[in-house]
Amino acid sequence: MPSITFIAADGASHVIKAQEDLSLMENAVAQGVETIEAVCGGNAYCGTCRVYPEAAWRSVLGEATEIELPMIEAAGDDTDGVRLSCQIRVTRQLDGLVVRTPPSQS
């Protein structure tokens, strides 16, 4: 199981062992990552599962998709590399992934 670290705006970290083939958001919610609210349940409608992948991981994850962009824009988030964790599928290649969450999700 890939190990993924979530770092909150206050610096607190939460490491999870993620199940492959689920979204990053589903894994975070199932394992009690409080900074991932996921109000819409993973439908890319609310923006409460935004994450900021560390720079080294951005090429692995790719850019935000056309599904994500409207919600990211609606949230007013112009942070480089911002993604919706509900749109990131966990694979074994994500072992070691580190993402930060925005202050608005604290």
Residue type, 33: V
Alpha-carbon span 28 to 49, nearest angstrom: 9
The CATH number covering residue 20 comes to: 3.10.20.30
pLDDT-derived band at 106 (thresholds 50, 70, 90) equals confident
Q: Is the separation of the CB atoms in 106 and 86 below 8 Å?
A: no
Please tell me the predicted confidence (pLDDT) of residue 89.
97
Alpha-carbon span 35 to 17, nearest angstrom: 17
Task: Tally the domains of the chain.
Answer: 1
pLDDT digits over 19-78, tens only? 999 999 999 999 999 999 999 999 999 999 999 999 999 999 999 999 999 999 999 999
Boundaries of domain holding 75: 3-105
Kindly give the residue spans of alpha helices, DSSP state H, lying in the chain.
24-30, 55-61, 69-74
